[in-house]
Amino acid sequence: MKTNFKSEAKIGLIVIAAFAIFVWGLNFLKGVNLLNPTNHYYVNFTQIDGLVKSSPVMLDGYQVGLVRDIRYQFNNPGHITIDLDLNTKLHLPEGSKAIIQSALIGNPTVVLKLGAPTAKLLLSGDTLLAERNPGIMDKLQEGILADVQHMIQRTDSLLASVETLVDNGSLNQSLTSIEKTSRELSLLSVKLNNSMDKLPGILDNVSSMTAEFSAAGTKINQIDVASLNKTLTQLENITLKLNSTDNSMGMLLNDKSLYQNLSTATFNLGTTATSANALLLDLKASPKRYVHFSLFGSKQSK
């Protein structure tokens, strides 16, 4: 009987030991070392982006703990509590944050951001501040996806505008106008080409005129400036003498009495000429009044 009890006891102990080894191995595979002591902290999130148990907790790229448990608050929807097991050597000051960092591939991780070093230290069982960095999908939704959506809306508006143009016949009118404009541009291009053909001749004329202007400038430069100044001085002296009364020409131009005498003489000559003209007319009309002659002498009256 005792032998059977001992055998059953050994079997029980073996089963318990195997179960303990299984639990320890399972936790070891999850990254949980049951033999190492840890500090326990809580974090409350509203969105965890697919965070799972046993996800690593990182500080400056080094793993300092893991996610022990995740509990959804069914009595308070939209709130999720995460339990963190951290190395006892890590001391967290107040204001420290637990940030969910999304990964391009795989599950997200929790990244710690320590508070001010001078702040009071948190104790095991305290709650950390929660923060969530926008993930890749959030950035795509806010950036590229928003642009794509805006582009799709504009494309729809453009297609609707084209459809309206086609239905109203405005598109055909626009195409006709474009064709007409193209023809006019073609004619203008031909005229422009013809004008460009005449451009060398115009440039030759301009070159010839430039050469003539240059020759004229050369001749002007060759004028004797001293001789020109001498001539101007002589003209100035002549003008001064004409304005002066100390010479015959100046007196003739400036003496009023001489003008009056000449005017009187001219008037007298005019009067004399008029009298002479009247005398000739009277002489022609009545010559006997002025001339008496006879071939045989005059008869004496008896």
The Cα 94–Cα 128 span in angstroms is 8
CB 127 within 8 A of CB 45: no
Q: Which residues pair with 132 in a beta bridge?
A: 100
Q: Which residues pair with 85 in a beta bridge?
A: 40, 66
The pLDDT tens digits along the chain (302 residues) read 556 666 767 777 777 777 766 665 655 555 555 456 788 999 999 988 888 888 889 999 898 988 889 999 899 888 999 999 998 888 899 999 999 888 767 778 899 999 998 889 999 889 999 988 776 555 555 656 667 777 887 887 777 777 776 666 666 777 778 888 888 888 888 888 777 777 777 777 778 888 887 777 777 666 666 777 778 888 887 787 767 767 666 666 666 676 677 677 777 776 776 777 776 777 677 766 666 544 445 444 44
Instruction: Give the CA dihedral 258, 261, 266, 267, nearest 10 degrees.
Output: 140
CB 68 within 8 A of CB 81: no
In degrees and rounded to multiples of 5, residue 200 shows phi and psi of -60, -40
Please state, in angstroms and as integers, the Cα–Cα distance from residue 59 to each residue in 110, 243, 297, following that order: 9, 114, 177
The Cα 47–Cα 112 span in angstroms is 17
The pLDDT value recorded for residue 41 is 93
- Cα angle value 9/13/18 (rounded, 5°): 150
Ramachandran quadrant class, 223 (left: phi over 0; alpha: psi -120 to 50; beta: rest) = beta
Q: pTM for the complete prediction?
A: 0.40
